[in-house]
Amino acid sequence: MADEQTIEAQEEQEEKRDPETAARRAAALARVRKWGDPVLRTRARPIDRFDDALREEVARMGEIMNDALGVGLAATQLGVLHRLLVYRVQPESDVAALVNPEVEWAGEVQEGAEEGCLSLPGVLVEVERPLHVRVRGRDETGDEVVVEATGLEARVIQHEIDHLDGVLILDRTTREQRKDAMRALREAQAAA
C-alpha cells in the first residue's frame, strides 16, 4: 500500500494489478517490519559514515519502496536503526534519500488527511500535520540538503521522520480512530 491512498483507491488498484506486480509487492511487503515489532518503537541513531554500504542500502530501500508501491520508507521499517529515509512523491521522479533529517521549520497551517503505512497493513487514519516544512539533512554522499516541502511531500517526509523517532500514525490520530485501527490490527494478526 502506498502511504496516502484511500481504501477505495487501494482496492481499485488491487483489482487492476497484474500478477507479477502483485507478487513483487507481496515479496517487498514481507521484508517490511509490521506493527507489534519493537523495532518500530525504537529511536534510530544518526549516521556518520557516508560509504558504499550506505549508498547500496539507499538503492535497496528505493527498490523495496517501489515494489511495495509505497511513496516513502524509513530504514527503521526494515529493522535498521539508523536515521535514513527514502521517498518519491511523483511517479516519474528519482527516489530521494535523506540522511539524519531534521525538521528545521514547520508552518503554522495544519492540514488533515488520511495516511496509511506499509508497517500497518489495512490501516488508514486521519493525521494532522503542518502543510509546509523545511527539512535539513544530508544525501547519501554526505552533501548537505535542504528540502522546502509542501502538501504530500511534506506529509511523507514527516511520516518517515516519525518512524526514525519510533512514532507511528496511531500516535497522531484521534483516540477513536486509534481504537478502531488497533482492533483491526489485532484481528488481522489473529487471523494470520
Q: Is 114 a catalytic residue?
A: no
Kindly list the strands in the beta sheet with 96-106, ordered across the sheet, starting from the edge strand earlier in the chain: 72-74, 84-87, 96-106, 132-138, 144-150
Residues 127-146 close enough to bind Zn ion by CB under 5 A: none
Active site residue: 20, 56, 160, 187, which one?
160
Query: Of 4-12, 91-99, 101-109, 115-123, which part binds Zn ion (CB under 5 A)?
Result: 115-123
Q: Considering the complex, what minimum distance in angstroms separates the CB of residue 163 from Zn ion?
A: 6
Q: Considering the complex, what minimum distance in angstroms separates the CB of residue 159 from Zn ion?
A: 6
Q: Considering the complex, what minimum distance in angstroms separates the CB of residue 137 from Zn ion?
A: 18
| 3 or 57: CB nearest Zn ion | 3
**H helix or E strand, kind and range, residue 90:** none
Query: Of 4-12, 45-53, 89-97, 112-120, which part binds Zn ion (CB under 5 A)?
Result: 112-120
**If binding is defined by CB under 5 A, does position 85 make contact with Zn ion?**
no
Specify whether the CB–CB gap between 89 and 71 falls below 8 A. Answer: yes
In the chain, the amino acid numbered 187 is E
**Residue-wise burial string across 31-54, b where 16 or more C-beta atoms lie within 10 A, e elsewhere:** ebbbbeeebbeeebeebeeeeeeb
The residue from 28, 61, 117, 164 that contacts Zn ion (CB under 5 A) is: 117
**If binding is defined by CB under 5 A, does position 71 make contact with Zn ion?**
no
CA distance 1 to 15: 13
* Strand 132-138 relative to strand 96-106, pairing: antiparallel
| 50 or 67: CB nearest Zn ion | 67
Query: Of 62-70, 99-107, 116-124, 136-144, which part binds Zn ion (CB under 5 A)?
Result: 116-124
Alpha helices (runs of H) in 31-150, residue ranges in sequence order: 52-67
Residue with cell 509487492: 25
Count of residues in the chain: 192
Catalytic residues: 160
Question: Which chain residues interact with Zn ion by CB under 5 A?
Answer: 117
